[in-house]
Amino acid sequence: MPETVLDTFEIKRLDILDARGNADPALMPPLGGAEIKKMYEYLAIARTFDDRALSMQREGRIGTYASIRGQEASQVGSALAFDKKDLIFPSYRESGVFIARDYPLHMLFQFWSGDERGMKVPGDINIFPICISVSTHLPHAAGAAAAAVYKKEKTAVAAYFGDGATSKGDFHEGMNLAGVFNAPAVFICQNNQYAISMPRSRQTAAKTIAQKAVAYGFKGIQVDGNDVFAVYRATKEAVENAKAGGGPTLIECYTYRLSDHTTADDASRYRSREEVEYWLARDPIARLRLYMEKQGLSGGKYEEEVREKAESLVDDGIKKMEETGPAEPQDMFTYTYQGPTARLSAQIRSFSPGAV
């Protein structure tokens, strides 16, 4: 008997805005001038925040920091496609996502300065605390999305992670669960080409990350992650599809980490200058700026105003963080359980800092 073809698949790639600032009108998402400006402003804040965080780390004012330079469009473009009540599960390299959700900047600095109060997420912002253990938050997204279905809420849930994260069992389990339960989850992989020193080619033998969705029974798409319109459009479609009962989507944002993995890393050990330069020429913010110039969205003092506003917001964040100072040492006892156990109460009473 002849073999039959049971299934075939194709994986699409979406590009809208090129590096010279030209957008494909047929694919442009329906965004007004004010919305595009808002996007640009978030991108500017994200870039400014990132630059300042890197220099603060060098000055010893915060600890190790994971830069998002080059990934701003993947983060801001996708985050803006969610509604306020949609819950986001981030990893550690998501400053742009937090910023696009109006997370208080001083709290982000607090987090990176080694102060857990920075992750006491304000009640009106739906984002989970930063997940350091790679990929372990993907099943959480599947669970939150399943809960939204149970509660008959029209909300979508997002998980953000890197290309390295796709090698973990939790990636498989989270995606598989979301597929089985047809959960309104959007999995956003920022393929920034590296997991510390390991290139994307050493994470999977598959041609794309997007195609991994096929095996879990839902849609995967690759987008130009340095193209804020493509990222926004793909995410918006995924969110709408999820809310309409269409199940999960995996979005692979094809981008590049322009900085070292973290401030503790030295990327020159494992990648070439030419490679970095290739990507510098594809900067996600520069191309939106070009687009806006061409569209007459950024005349006069606009550029300068955006920069000044971003700088003053970030400066205020730093000032507020530094003025706050460290938490009281007793703070470490407070959140182990809802209230202190008898054992903890005794330890709190005996607490006396053990000078070194």
Ligand X SMILES: Cc1ncc(C[n+]2csc(CCOP(=O)(O)OP(=O)(O)O)c2C)c(N)n1
162 touches ligand X (CB under 6 A): yes
Find the part of the chain contacting another protein (CB under 8 A) among 72-80, 96-104, 232-240, 321-329. Answer: 321-329
- Tokens of residue 99, six digits: 């910023």
- Tokens of residue 332, six digits: 């470490």
Find the part of the chain contacting another protein (CB under 8 A) among 130-138, 233-241, 252-260, 280-288. Answer: 130-138
Binding residues among 182-221 for ligand X as defined by CB under 6 A: 192, 194-196
Residues making up the chain, counted from first to last: 356
- Which is catalytic among the residues 140, 261, 282, 287? 261
140 touches ligand X (CB under 6 A): no
Instruction: Kindly tell me which of 96 and 247 has the beta carbon lying closer to ligand X.
Output: 96
64 touches another protein (CB under 8 A): yes
31: left (phi over 0), alpha (psi -120 to 50) or beta: beta
Q: Which residue is nearest to ligand X (CB)?
A: 162
353 touches another protein (CB under 8 A): yes
Binding residues among 75-134 for ligand X as defined by CB under 6 A: 93, 132-134
Q: Is 140 designated active site?
A: no
Task: Decide if 142 contacts 177 (C-beta within 8 A).
Answer: yes
Site for ligand X (CB under 6 A): which residue of 50, 72, 86, 163? 163
Instruction: Kindly tell me which of 23 and 79 has the beta carbon lying closer to ligand X.
Output: 79
258 touches ligand X (CB under 6 A): no
Q: Is 257 designated active site?
A: yes
Site for another protein (CB under 8 A): which residue of 197, 268, 295, 312? 197
The CB-of-198 to another protein minimum distance in angstroms stands at: 6
Q: Which does 93 bind (CB under 5 to 8 A by kind): ligand X, another protein, none?
A: ligand X
- Tokens of residue 73, six digits: 């469009």
Site for another protein (CB under 8 A): which residue of 72, 115, 237, 260? 115
Binding footprint of ligand X on the chain (CB under 6 A): 93, 132-134, 161-165, 192, 194-196, 257, 261
